[in-house]
Structure 1
């Protein structure tokens, strides 16, 4: 594969959290939402589910950009997906305040897992594609909460677009007692894994050449 350090970098996600994390590295990138079907038949393990959906998102955006065997400028597409798992049950985004209250009532005072799947697809100038795919898991210990505290948090509006009905990087930070694992996995983009994949593909995040001129 040709050197990819000047590849067009595309984040296949509309998540403002993922966009903020990637922007930290001052490497120019663009955002394209995948708009893919996120249903998966059966009851896959959370690790399998997030990898399947991350690959589906990245693949949809790459296909939109030209797909396999397409000649042109090199491109790298990053896809990610995050779920919360409690006792093996996957908790997605709540559909409203009532469901958010039910989720947080179940999570409070307990330990759950957050899985984020990551898929990076790199297409070189000859149309050849390489793929890196995996997942990261973090254990999250939530503090005990009473109904008034849960309602107060829901009133911020933050839980309504978050898996498991909370965001560790925002108001929800005061709900979390401690974590075991990577913080950025809970936010939605495991940077250690992303950095490794991009390094392997010839596009290191910390390469000074990739930063915009000051």
Structure 2
């Protein structure tokens, strides 16, 4: 039996990660207003969400938005990543100036990349499960020069990703080491996803088809 998977994310890296593991999901991008979702949640608790809570909130919001918009017989997966650094939560930088400032702070130091995973079992004969898991990986950054930062930011890549860096792209040389799951830094933890599938009685090979 093959189980279909819908990926509620526009991230090419997440799609590539799944494909490399033999999974070919249907991609459906949500219409979630991320800043508004965070603002509503923080208003509701009367405080500031922690970085891992932001990642899980956005993953859940995206997953629920897509699940509500489809009647597909499938599992629906939403993901979101943020970098926790110096007590702040970093998503995608707004512009090149912000990306440059971030890297000037991050160089030679470390942060924690949190990826929220939210799964909804929307199959016709489903468990009705809806739950989430956050995976966290410590990332140690190289001590870049101002010239290296300028050259990297000029590629445009830091503007497209949470934390203003990648480990699987042009930013790879600037990550000295990690503590935790490599795939999580890319944007989706395959071991975590396997465990989540198991919670709804599905094995990874069934999703792989």
Q: TM-score, normalised by structure 2?
A: 0.89
Q: Which residue of 1 aligns with 2:140?
A: 141
How far apart are residue 200 of structure 1 and its match? 2.5
2:81/2:116 contact within 8 Å kept: yes
Give deviations 1:32-77, integer Å, cap 9, x for gaps: 00111212133201111111111111111010014xxxxxx63100
Equivalent residues in 2 for 1:173-192 (5 A)? 173-192=172-191
**Equivalents in 2 of 1:210, 1:173: separation in Å?**
28
Query: What are the ranges of 5 or more consecutive residues in structure 1 without an aligned counterpart?
Result: 67-72
Match of 1:62 among 52, 64, 67: 67
2:117/2:133 contact within 8 Å kept: yes
Measured on the aligned residues, the alpha-carbon RMSD in Å equals 1.7
| More divergent stretch after superposition (118-127 vs 81-90) | 118-127
Q: Which has the higher helix share?
A: 2
Q: Which residue of 2 aligns with 1:14?
A: 10
2:18/2:24 contact within 8 Å kept: no
1:25/1:206 contact within 8 Å kept: no
Q: TM-score, normalised by structure 1?
A: 0.87
**Equivalents in 2 of 1:27, 1:204: separation in Å?**
12
Larger radius of gyration: 1
Q: Which residue of 1 aligns with 2:45?
A: none
- Aligned pairs, number: 200
Equivalent residues in 2 for 1:119-198 (5 A)? 119-126=118-125, 129-198=128-197
Q: Which residue of 1 aligns with 2:21?
A: 25
**Equivalents in 2 of 1:57, 1:105: separation in Å?**
31
Q: Which residue of 1 aligns with 2:200?
A: 201
State yes or no: 1:46 paired with 2:51: yes
**Equivalents in 1 of 2:87, 2:135: separation in Å?**
16
Query: What are the ranges of 5 or more consecutive residues in structure 2 without an aligned counterpart?
Result: 43-47
Give deviations 1:137-190, integer Å, cap 9, x for gaps: 111110111100101111222111011111111111110111111111111101
Q: 1:28 to 1:143 in 2, by over 3 A?
A: closer
